Structure 1
Amino acid sequence: MKQGRQGMDKTAWVTGAGTGIGRAVAVALAGAGWRLALTGRRRAPLEETAALLPGGAEAHIVTADLTDAAAVERAAAEVTEALGGIGLLVNNAGVNVPRRHWHQLSPADVGTLVDGNLRAPFLTSLAVLAGMKARGGGLIVQIASMAGKGVSAVSGPGYIAAKSGFVALSASLNAENGIHNIRSTCICPGEVVTPILDFRPEPVPAEERARMLQPEDIAQAVLFVANMPERVCINEMLVTPTWNRFQAAHAQKVAAIP
C-alpha cells in the first residue's frame, strides 16, 4: 500500500517489545488496529507480550540481537515480508549497567552502552529507510531518554553519551529524509518504572516509583505521534513525571519562602 494521500500503513515493528515501554507500546498499537512485529533478544518475553494484545490481535515475533548488523538485516527482511512493509518503527530497545560512573566503567561496559543505546537504533533505522522511501514515507519513533538532553549524576556518562547521540541521530534523519515523507520523532522520557530501573546502583523506593512515569504513559505518547497527519513531524517530545524527585527538595524550599 502506498502512503501519501492514502495514509500511512498501519504496520509497526516494535523493538525491545518483551518488557516495559516496548510491551506497553505493542499493546496500545494493537488496540488501535495496528498489525505488529515484535523484536527482542529472547522469545519468551515476546510471546508474553503477544498474549497480552487486546481483541485477539496477533503479532509476528522475530528474535534478534539488534547490535549485530547482519541480524538486523535479517530481522527487517522477515518483518517486511510478514507485514507487507513497515509503516512505523518504534526503536525502544535500550540498556544500562549498574556500575556506571567513570571510575567504575570498563571498556566492555562502554561497548554495551554504546551498542545497545546507539548502534542498535542506528542499524534498525538504516534497515527500514529504503523500504519507507519506496512506499512513499514512514514514521520512526525513537524512545531515547532525558539523559540525552543533559548531563546528570544518575544515568552515568556512557548512557548519557549514547542517548545524546541517539537524539542527534533522530534529528539527522529528519534533516535528510523529510523530502521522502519520512519522519523521526525522538521521545525523551524522564524516569519510567521499567525493568531497567532495577539496574540503578541505589534501589528506588516503592513510593517514589508510584510517582514516576509508567510504560503506558509513553505508549500513549507514541500513539499521539502515530496519529498525527503525515504533514506533521514532531521532532522531539520531552516527557517527565509531574513530581520530579530530583527537584522536589529544592522546590519545597522555594515554596517555603515567604
Structure 2
Amino acid sequence: MKTALITGASSGIGKATAKIFAEEGFNLILCGRRKEKLEELKQELDDKSNIHLLTFDIRNKEEVFSSIEGLPSDLANIDILINNAGNAHGLDPIQDGNVEDWDAMMDINVKGLLYVSKAIIPKMIARASGHIINIGSTAGKEVYPNGNVYCASKHAVDAITQGMRIDLNGKGIRVGAINPGMVETEFSEVRFKGDKEKAQKVYEGFKPLQPEDVADIIRFVVTRPSHINIADLMVMCTAQASSTIVDKE
C-alpha cells in the first residue's frame, strides 16, 4: 500500500486530493496549519484509509523537518509527495505591493515547498523510488497585470520542478508539475484578505475548475505505470484561454 503526503490538505485541491487518494486505499499524511479542519477531514476518511495528521507552518523549516522526521515507522517511507500548499496575497502593481504579502508568497510557495521536499527526498533516493508532484499554476507560465510576485513564485515552482527532475534523474524518482488555471477554492478569498464578496465575483459568469477536477488529474498522474512520468501538465476550464482572457456571460 502506498503512502502519500499532501501539504495544504485542509481545503481546496489538497482536501479533494486526500479524498480521492483515500478511495485508492493510500495511507495518508495530511499536513496543514488548521488543526480543526484536518481533524474533520480525518474523521470523514478514517474508515477508508490510515490517516496521520501533521500540523505545522510550512514556512518554519524547523517545524517541517521535526514533524516529518517524527513520523511513525509505518508511515516513514513516503511514496508520493504532493506539494500543494500555496497562497496568493494581494493583487497590486509592483510599486504598491505589500512587503509582508511578498514574504508570505515566497516563503509558502517557494521555500515551504523546498523544505518539505528536502525532508522527504533522501529516503526516496535511498529506496530508489518515489513520485513528487508540485502544484504550480498557469501563473507560472505567464505573467499578468498586478500578479508580479505571485507569478514570480509560481515561475520559481516551475523552475524547481525542472531542476528536481534533472537532479533526480537516474534515482528512480518521478517528478512532475500540475498547473491549474482558475479553481474555485479559498484562493481568491485569501488574496483579497477575507473579502468574500470580492472573491466570489472572480468566479461569476462562467464555470471554473473545481478542486475535485484537479484531484482527479492528480490521481491519474500518480497511477500511471512506473515507466511513465507526466512531467508538466497545464489545465484550465473551457471558458479560460489565459490568465486574463475568460469568457464570462
Point out the structure with max Rg over C-alpha: 1
Among all aligned residue pairs of Structure 1 and Structure 2, give the percentage whose two residues are the same amino acid.
31
Unaligned 5+ segments in structure 1 are 1-8, 253-258
CA-to-partner distance for each residue in 1:78-129, whole Å, 9 max, x for gaps?
A: 3363514100010100011134431331222211110011101111111111
Whether the aligned pair in 2 keeps the contact of 1:96 and 1:159 (CA below 8 Å) is yes
Once residues 147 and 207 of structure 1 are traced to their aligned partners in structure 2, the CA distance between those partners, rounded to angstroms, is 17
Once residues 205 and 184 of structure 2 are traced to their aligned partners in structure 1, the CA distance between those partners, rounded to angstroms, is 6
Whether the aligned pair in 2 keeps the contact of 1:11 and 1:86 (CA below 8 Å) is yes
Alpha-carbon spacing, 1:95–1:186, altered in 2? closer, same or farther (3 Å) = same
Match of 2:54 among 62, 74, 79: 62
CA-to-partner distance for each residue in 1:219-238, whole Å, 9 max, x for gaps?
A: 01110111011111111110
Residues 1:112 and 2:110 are matched in the alignment: no
Once residues 23 and 102 of structure 2 are traced to their aligned partners in structure 1, the CA distance between those partners, rounded to angstroms, is 38
Match of 1:231 among 227, 233, 237: 227
Unaligned 5+ segments in structure 2 are 193-197
| Structure 2 counterpart of 1:147 | 139
Match of 2:228, SS state, is coil
Per the TM alignment, residue 207 of structure 1 is displaced from its structure 2 partner at its CA by 6.4
Match of 1:162 among 153, 156, 173: 153
Once residues 176 and 206 of structure 1 are traced to their aligned partners in structure 2, the CA distance between those partners, rounded to angstroms, is 38
Alpha-carbon spacing, 1:79–1:104, altered in 2? closer, same or farther (3 Å) = farther
Match of 1:79, SS state, is coil
CA-to-partner distance for each residue in 1:10-55, whole Å, 9 max, x for gaps?
A: 1000100001110000000011110001111121111122123274
Match of 2:2 among 10, 16, 23: 10
Bigger shift: residues 95-104 or 221-230: 95-104
Scaled by the length of structure 2, the TM-score of the pair is 0.90
Once residues 97 and 40 of structure 1 are traced to their aligned partners in structure 2, the CA distance between those partners, rounded to angstroms, is 18
| Structure 1 counterpart of 2:28 | 36
Paired residues, number: 242
